[in-house]
Amino acid sequence: MPQILLLALLSLLTGGLLASGVLSALPLRPGFISLALMLASAALARRHWQRSEHGPGSIERGCWHGLLCYSLLAGHLAGLLWRLGPQLDMHGPSGHALAVDNWTLILGAWLSWQMARDPAPLRDERDRLFAAQALSAAWYALLGLLVLLILALGFGEHTVVAQFNQPLLAHLLILILTLACAFHEAAQLRLYRREAALEQLQ
């Protein structure tokens, strides 16, 4: 579990860094830099997994990829909202540039998935059970995040929440969905890691 949390946190922070403007002095947009890194990482991961005899199964590999990509996207979107909010103007120069980066990250996630995925994934009853259990956990995480948003909107009349415009609220909902997806991948990975630990003890 610590490894799962650490990698998710690193991906979140990387996404936030990409949206922070720290890399704006570079000749390439942060999104394109991230795209190159995602493709290179996917190629290396695929090569490593193909050479490993005791590596994770194809479904578990997909969970690792999903965890990192969803966390990266969530971190970038959170950084974007922090930088442009509370009155989010997606049609301004900054909003347009960050939106291009965000869509570039989505493209990178899809392309890296195509590179890293198992072309013939093997799914058994254990994988289906873990996926169902993780989906249940992700449902409660999504519900908790929505309750927090509802409470903030309901009782934030005299706070910065009252300044949120419609585009920002829409992107907050997207962020919540992305975080719930990342939580789903983390919950499923935890089940795989727990099973592997039990097998080692036997």
Please tell me whether the peptide bond between 119 and the residue prior to it is cis, using omega within 30 degrees of 0. no
Name the percent of the chain lying above pLDDT 70: 94
DSSP 124: -
Host H or E run for residue 27: none
Q: Summarize pLDDT for 15-50 with one digit per residue, the tens.
A: 888 888 777 777 778 778 888 888 888 888 777 777
Name residue 133's amino acid: Q
Q: What is the mean pLDDT of the chain?
A: 84
Max avg pLDDT among 80-94, 138-152, 154-168 = 138-152
Residue pair 61/49 in contact by the 8 Å Cβ criterion: yes
**Beta strand spans in the chain (E):** none
Contacts of 135 (CB under 8 A, 6+ apart): 184
Q: Exposed e or buried b for every residue in 49-84, given b needs 16+ CB within 10 A?
A: beeeeeebbbbbbbbbbbbbbbbbbbbbbbbbbeeb
Q: Give the C-alpha separation, 143 to 150, whole Å.
A: 10
* Three state DSSP letters for 65-110: HHHHHHHHHHHHHHHHHHHHCCCCCCCCHHHHHHHHHHHHHHHHHH
pTM beyond 0.85: the answer is yes
Identify the pLDDT of residue 117. Answer: 75
Q: Summarize pLDDT for 53-110 with one digit per residue, the tens.
A: 666 777 888 888 889 889 989 998 898 888 887 887 777 777 777 778 888 888 988 9
